[in-house]
Amino acid sequence: MGFSNIYFQKALQCINQHREQVQLQAQQEKQAIYAAHPELARLEHAIADKAVQATRAMLSGGEVRQAIQQLSTESQQLQDQRNAYLLQNQIDQKKLHPVYWCDKCADTGYDQGKLCSCVKKMAIGFAIEQLNAATPLEHSRFDNFSLDRYPKRSEQSGVSPQEIMSKIYQYCKDYAEHFTEHAESLLFFGDTGLGKTHLSLAIARVVLQKGYSVIYGPVNHLLGQIEHEHFSKEKNGISLQTMLDCDLLILDDLGAEFTTPFTVSTLYDLINSRILNNKPTIINTNLTVQELEQQYAPRIVSRICGCYKCFKFLGVDLRLKK
């Protein structure tokens, strides 16, 4: 997956900081308990000493089975004494050891030499948090997409916007649930306020939770960042390469941006490169295909119409109706 390393690095840093914090807290707690209970400290040190003796016996070679069994018996007796002491003095044994977030990796971030699942889970959380900061992701879910807002029948065309939107909704839900790095690219077009952004963000939410990387933004904003990166030495925003590499790119409100030779060329390169690399893109636009052809070079619209699965959204502006 092309999940951004920024999120993994942030997750690892956060987990390691927690590890250092709980280890320090446990050490301080242990020292305080040992100071108040010298007998407990003696038993703990004696148990640790038996473990060292057993290790030395195994490394010494020869017939050491009897010695190890004797050390194991003595160690168990000491552990029983320690447990009895803890119970008698009502001491919580957990206070003697760090309480990690993850039992698998003990907050190291690695399990059997590989990134632990806790790192991935936290990285996904950071990605969702960042996307939430710029978009209504929390409010754009499949479970709060209401089909009741769409007319059951259009008096002008005789078709059922609600029936058509129900099929689009189900397709988007299935698309998100079965998303892969090589899923289809989608074009959502239709009048403003028909739910294009809502469904694309609902897809983004599910895809992010599955561990894939998602970049979402209005086309004018994303192209503006690319232009800034191209003509400036500062590299603070989302780069063109990041948009090319992410698992799912969502371009919102295509056609609302101010077009220049640079933005048109960049848009074509972005769309065409992702098609050639079999990487899915979702494009939302209020324009018709004919209007897109008037605003952009025919080769852009040709690539979209020829390689994307297209959905026309029907109904009335949901925001005005609400």
pLDDT tens-place string over residues 45-92:
999 898 888 888 877 766 778 888 888 898 899 999 999 999 999 988
Residue 291 reports pLDDT greater than 60: yes
CA 260 vs CA 143, 228, 249, 273, 299: distances in Å: 39, 14, 22, 20, 16
Fold for domain 135-321?
A: Rossmann fold (3.40.50)
Cα-to-chain-centroid distance, residue 227: 27
Which comes out higher in pLDDT, residue 70 or 297?
70
Q: How confident is the model at residue 134 (pLDDT cuts 50, 70, 90)?
A: low
Cβ count near 263 (within 10 Å): 18
The C-alpha atoms of residue 214 and residue 166 are separated, in whole angstroms, by 25
Side-chain-facing half-sphere of 1: CA atoms under 13 Å: 18
* pLDDT for the residue numbered 1: 44
- The percentage of the chain sitting over the pLDDT mark of 90, rounded to a whole number, equals 48
- Single-letter code of the amino acid located at 34: Y
pLDDT for residue 321 is more than 60:
no
**pTM of the full structure:** 0.68
**Of 297 and 3, the one with more pLDDT:** 297
| Extents of the domains making up the chain | 22-101, 135-321
Q: How far is residue 133's CA from residue 65's CA, in Å, rounded to a whole number?
A: 62
Mean confidence (pLDDT) of the chain: 87
pLDDT at 22: 93
Region 282-300: mean pLDDT is 89
3-state secondary structure string across 250-291: EEEEECCCCCCHHHHHHHHHHHHHHHHCCCCEEEEECCCHHH
For residue 309, CA distances in Å to 169, 233, 270, 282 come to 14, 38, 18, 9
- For the stretch 161-201, pLDDT in tens is 999 999 999 999 999 999 999 999 999 999 999 999 999 99
Closest CA to 297 of 257, 263, 249, 246: 263
Q: What is the model's pLDDT at position 234?
A: 60
Encode 189-223: b = buried (16+ Cβ within 10 Å), e = exposed: bbeebbbbbbbbbbbbbbbbeeebbbbbbbbbebb
Q: Strands 248-254, 214-218: parallel, antiparallel or unpaired by DSSP?
A: parallel
Are the CB atoms for 49 and 7 separated by under 8 Å? no
Q: What is the pLDDT of residues 232-250, one digit of tens each?
A: 666 555 678 888 888 999 9
- Rounded percentage of the chain residues whose pLDDT exceeds 70: 90
Report how far residue 139's alpha carbon sits from residue 137's, in angstroms, rounded to the nearest whole number. Answer: 5
Q: Which of 88, 85, 98 has its CA nearest to residue 41? A: 85
Chain position carrying tokens 């952004």: 197
Q: Rounded to a whole number, what is the distance in angstroms from the first to the last CA of the chain?
A: 39
Lookup: tokens for 8: 């993994």
